[in-house]
Amino acid sequence: MEFTVIGDPVNLAARVEALTRIHNVDILVTEAVRKTLDARFVTRAMPPVAVKGKSEPVATFAIESFDPRRGRPTTAETPATP
């Protein structure tokens, strides 16, 4: 069997991955992904860049580090950090 994935999200992911070389960082995420991360992920805004297939420059964020001391999200399964 052979599988393939196509569409705008896949194209954007490929463009963002290519931007890691331009910005000289290991991991980049889009604004949409950054909004889903909790405070333990330390991010740094990168300059927006025009990418093929998008009418507006794409804002990306480098993942600088993961700091478990910054607090965890409060959910039914995860108690709040004191």
Nearest to 12 by CA among 52, 49, 48: 52
The distance between the two most distant Cα atoms of the chain, rounded to a whole number of Å, is 50
For the stretch 8-37, pLDDT in tens is 999 999 999 999 999 999 999 999 999 999
Q: Is residue 81 pLDDT above 50, yes or no?
A: no
Nearest to 81 by CA among 49, 39, 36, 25: 39
What sign has the CA pseudo-torsion 80, 82, 35, 10? negative
Q: What is the mean pLDDT of the chain?
A: 87
Pairing state between β 41-45 and 28-30: unpaired
- What pLDDT is attached to residue 79? 47
Task: Give the C-alpha separation, 35 to 27, whole Å.
Answer: 15
Q: Is residue 72 pLDDT above 90, yes or no?
A: no
